[in-house]
Amino acid sequence: MSSASEHDLVVVGAGPGGYVAAIRAAQLGLNVGCVEEAGALGGTCLRIGCIPSKALLESSQRFVEAKEQLAIHGIRAGEVTLNLAALLRRKEQVVTTLTRGVESLFKKNKVTRYLGHARIAGSGNLTVENGGQSTALAAKQILIATGSKPAGLQGVEPRGDLIGTSAEALSYRETPKHLVVIGAGYIGVELGSVWRRLGAKVTVLEFLDRILAGMDEELAAEARKLLGKQGLEFRLGARVTAARVEEGQCVVEAEGAEPIRCDRVLVAVGRLPNTESLGLENVGIETDRRGFIPVDERFATSAQGVYAVGDVIGGPMLAHKAEEEGMACVEGIVTGFCHVNYDAIPGVVYTHPEIASVGKTEQELKKTGAAFVKGPFPFRGNGRARALGQADGFVKVLADATTDRILGVHIIGPHAGELINEAAAAIAFGASSEDLARVCHAHPTLGEALREGALAAGNRAIHA
Ligand code: FAD
Ligand code: AMP
**CATH number reported for the structural domain that contains residue 379 in this entry:** 3.30.390.30
Indicate whether 117 and 20 sit together in one domain. yes
Q: How far is CA 101 from CA 104, 106, 114, in A?
A: 5, 9, 17
Indicate whether 115 and 168 sit together in one domain. no
Which atom in ligand 1 lies closest to the alpha carbon of residue 323?
A: 51
Confirm or reject: Cβ of 455 under 6 Å from ligand 1: no
Distance (Å, rounded) from C-alpha 41 to C-alpha 135?
19
Indicate whether 78 and 111 sit together in one domain. yes
What is the distance between the terminal CA atoms of the chain, rounded to a whole angstrom? 71
Chain length of the chain: 464
How far apart are the CA of 403 and the centre of ligand 1, in A? 38
- Host domain of residue 135: 5-150+273-340
Distance (Å, rounded) from C-alpha 193 to C-alpha 181?
10
Final residue belonging to a domain, choices 220, 250, 269? 269
Domain-embedded: residue 463: no
Confirm or reject: Cβ of 213 under 6 Å from ligand 2: yes
Number of separate domains in the chain: 3
Confirm or reject: Cβ of 35 under 6 Å from ligand 1: yes
153 alpha carbon, closest ligand? 2
Residue (of 306, 1, 10, 31) closest to 136 by Cα position: 1
Q: What is the pLDDT along the chain (464 residues), one digit of tens a residue?
A: 446 799 999 999 999 999 999 999 999 999 999 999 999 999 999 999 999 999 999 999 999 999 999 999 999 999 999 999 999 999 999 999 999 999 999 999 999 999 999 999 999 999 999 999 999 999 999 999 999 999 999 999 999 999 999 999 999 999 999 999 999 999 999 999 999 999 999 999 999 999 999 999 999 999 999 999 999 999 999 999 999 999 999 999 999 889 999 999 999 999 999 999 999 999 999 999 999 999 999 999 999 999 999 999 999 999 999 999 999 999 999 999 999 999 999 999 999 999 999 999 999 999 999 999 999 999 999 999 999 999 999 999 999 999 999 999 999 999 999 999 999 999 999 999 999 999 999 999 999 999 999 999 999 999 99
Q: Is 273 helix (H, G, I), strand (E, B) or coil?
A: strand
How far apart are the CA of 38 and the centre of ligand 1, in A? 11
Provide the CATH number for the domain around residue 119: 3.50.50.60
The DSSP secondary-structure symbol of 252 reads: E
Final residue belonging to a domain, choices 269, 298, 323? 269
Domain-embedded: residue 351: yes
Domain-embedded: residue 144: yes
Ligand 2, atom 17: closest residue by C-alpha? 207
How far apart are the CA of 48 and the centre of ligand 1, in A? 8
How far apart are the CA of 336 and the centre of ligand 2, in A? 39
Q: DSSP string covering 116-139, please? A: SEEEEEETTEEEEEETTEEEEEEE
User: Can 443 be counted among the known catalytic residues?
Assistant: yes
